[in-house]
Amino acid sequence: MVLYGPFFEDHRETAPSSRAFDLDPRSRELNWGLRALSDVDAAAPREGLHREARIAMPDNDLPLVYRKG
């Protein structure tokens, strides 16, 4: 499975554009908006997935590759 988008990451500064992008959906629903990468990684094993790759891109945009097994 491949996920792409901005994520909040521990110990990494979030780009101002990503913070601004997060505010709009959260203003409508508190459970919407950017996800913490640590939360995504914690949920993956419950679905039988593990993260295989994190590909750095500008402004906190990340392709994340998860694989079964």
Q: What is the per-residue pLDDT for 33?
A: 94
And the tokens for 12? 């990494």
What pTM did the predictor assign?
A: 0.84
Contact 37, 62 (CB under 8 A): yes
Whether pLDDT at 56 is above 90: no
Instruction: Please say if the pLDDT value at position 59 is more than 80.
Output: no
Distance between CA atoms of 23 and 29, rounded to whole angstroms? 10
User: Helix, strand or coil for residue 14?
Assistant: coil
Asked whether the predicted pLDDT for residue 60 surpasses 80, the reply is: no
28, pLDDT greater than 80: yes
Average pLDDT, the chain: 93
pLDDT score recorded for residue 32: 94
Mean predicted confidence (pLDDT) in 39-68: 93
